[in-house]
Amino acid sequence: MKKFTHLTKTLVSATAGVALLAAFSVAPVMTGITDQAFASSTDKDKRKFEDRKTRRTPALSEKIYKVLGKAQEQADANNYPAAMQILEDGLGYKLDKLNSYERAQYYNFRGFLFYSQEKYTEALKAYENVLRQENLPAAMEDTTVYTMAQLYFIKEDFKSSIRMMQRWLKFQPAPTAQPLILLGQAYYSLGTKDGVSEKEAHGYFKKGIPYILRAIDLYKKAGKQPKENWYLLLRVMYFEMKENQKVIDILELLVQKWPKKEYWLQLAGMYGEMASDEKSEKKRDLLEKKQLATYETAYRQGFLEKSSELVNMSQLYMYHEAPYWASVVLDKGLKSGKIKKDKKNYESLAQARINAQDMRQSLEPLRKAAEMSDDGEIYKKLGQVYMQLDDYKNGAKYLGLALKKGGLRRRDSVAIYQGMCYFNLGELDKARKSFKIAAKDKRSRKQAHKWISYLSKEKKRLRQIKEFLG
């Protein structure tokens, strides 16, 4: 079982991060011009801090509004250089004459234009200038902070992204799920950066997980289905923290909601991993049965297509003492070409049939495996199967091929078996030659000499019978 759980552990490790990069798609909420309409819609949330309530924002003059409007028209046409030129010609040269709100709108628009051209560093500088303005509308401040958090995330400056998100959350009595996911993703990204120790990584994951759980809870309470990628984000963090039971809980949910191949295989792998670490025999047995049932479900749904996956299925059946089903999987896979037609797989098929007491059906795959082998070991096994079927002629033949091909671990024992086949065929001279080969090895010398002595007596007895019969 250890061998199989190692294979599935590798599988889980390799696929733990699948689709993770899609867990959060950054799309900053930015517009060229912000207005008080947004502020009024958010002020109903009753901000906690009095200074945000009592801010007196200067008015935006009609002349300034017109400049911003013309720039917006060019931005809407994706002509960002022209929009920037209008902005600079209309406002840039007289910033000291503008009130704080007008300057905030100017810098906000610059940030938007820089972002639109993927000039993220310049965009961040512009938004920093927005936040420097006095009496900034609370809604505009929040939007700017949130946008900066997203931009820092894009630039992979996750610490700054987290800092801005925490600042944003202070004034959000009821944040939606998506910002919480961004924060959780940022903590995960911090934990997976190069040079971060395992202890530090686990610390970041522990900080990020509650935000993901909170986002999921918000969706559930609203009667909505949480996003698949949110669970993937949780799964990979729990996996890195070695909280295997929580990984299993998430994978069990994933196969119910999104029954994809990788989730079934990962769940089977985690059951195997838990079983290998479990000290209680009863619990270990239950986990191993769950592993088999899960992997078998994936097989019956047609998810197992690779040679290694199908071979793993057969190994699980063998481990759980179901050799017939192991042979069915291998035979079907070999015939369809999904399982690689090599010595190892043909030998595995033969062994499964032998264990299922289907000796005769094991002969063909054993012959194929023997022909592909570099030594005579499989010919030896083939000869032994023929002996069990009382087909001593073929037994002697294939044991002879084993001796001829060589590379045997016990050449002497193969010669003993061959001698026994010849004895049962009544070919005593050939049997004697085989036993003489065996006698050259001290490990079989005593047994071979007994056979040779017996053959001498048997040959004498047969001669006497022949003489008596005339």
**Predicted TM-score (pTM) of this structure:** 0.80
- The owner of tokens 């994978």 is 251
Interatomic CA distance for residues 302 and 322, integer angstroms: 20
| pLDDT more than 90, % of the chain | 74
Question: Is pLDDT at 22 greater than 60 in this prediction?
Answer: no
Question: Is pLDDT at 43 greater than 70 in this prediction?
Answer: no
156 vs 462, more confident = 156
Interatomic CA distance for residues 166 and 334, integer angstroms: 57
- The owner of tokens 């239950």 is 286
Q: What pLDDT does 470 receive?
A: 60
Interatomic CA distance for residues 187 and 196, integer angstroms: 12
Q: What pLDDT does 463 receive?
A: 75
Kindly state the average pLDDT of the residues 437-445: 92
Sign of CA dihedral 48, 49, 54, 60: negative
Q: What pLDDT does 282 receive?
A: 94
Q: What is the pLDDT of residues 140-166, one digit of tens each?
A: 999 999 999 999 999 999 999 999 999
Question: Is pLDDT at 92 greater than 90 in this prediction?
Answer: no
Q: What is the pLDDT of residues 311-333, one digit of tens each?
A: 999 999 999 999 999 999 999 99
Kindly state the average pLDDT of the residues 83-92: 88
* Domain-wise residue ranges, the chain: 1-27+182-303, 31-36+58-173
Sign of CA dihedral 105, 110, 113, 119: negative
97 vs 32, more confident = 97
35 vs 19, more confident = 35
Interatomic CA distance for residues 337 and 313, integer angstroms: 16
Q: What pLDDT does 198 receive?
A: 94
Alpha helices (H) along 222-322: 228-240, 244-257, 261-277, 281-300, 307-319
Q: What pLDDT does 313 receive?
A: 96
Sign of CA dihedral 325, 326, 329, 334: negative
- Give the type of residue at 272: G
Interatomic CA distance for residues 222 and 166, integer angstroms: 24
Q: Degrees (nearest 5) of the Cα angle 392, 393, 394?
A: 95
Interatomic CA distance for residues 90 and 95, integer angstroms: 10
Kindly state the average pLDDT of the residues 394-412: 95
Classify domain 31-36+58-173 by CATH number: 1.25.40.10
Kindly state the DSSP code that residue 325 receives in the 8-state scheme. H
| pLDDT more than 70, % of the chain | 88
Inter-residue contact 438 to 448 (CB < 8 Å): yes
CA nearest neighbour of 91 among 120, 108, 67, 62: 67
CA nearest neighbour of 150 among 179, 122, 190: 179
Interatomic CA distance for residues 83 and 71, integer angstroms: 4
Interatomic CA distance for residues 143 and 466, integer angstroms: 112
Inter-residue contact 299 to 330 (CB < 8 Å): no
Q: What pLDDT does 30 receive?
A: 46
What mean pLDDT, rounded, does the chain reach? 87
Interatomic CA distance for residues 287 and 294, integer angstroms: 10
Rg of the chain's alpha carbons, rounded to an integer? 38
Lowest mean pLDDT, pick from 40-54, 63-77, 409-423: 40-54
Interatomic CA distance for residues 152 and 307, integer angstroms: 44
Question: Is pLDDT at 364 greater than 90 in this prediction?
Answer: yes
Q: What is the pLDDT of residues 200-251, one digit of tens each?
A: 999 999 999 999 999 999 999 999 999 999 999 999 999 999 999 999 999 9
Interatomic CA distance for residues 262 and 168, integer angstroms: 37
- Give the type of residue at 16: A
Q: What is the pLDDT of residues 242-292, one digit of tens each?
A: 999 999 999 999 999 999 999 999 999 999 999 999 899 999 999 999 999
Q: What pLDDT does 42 receive?
A: 46
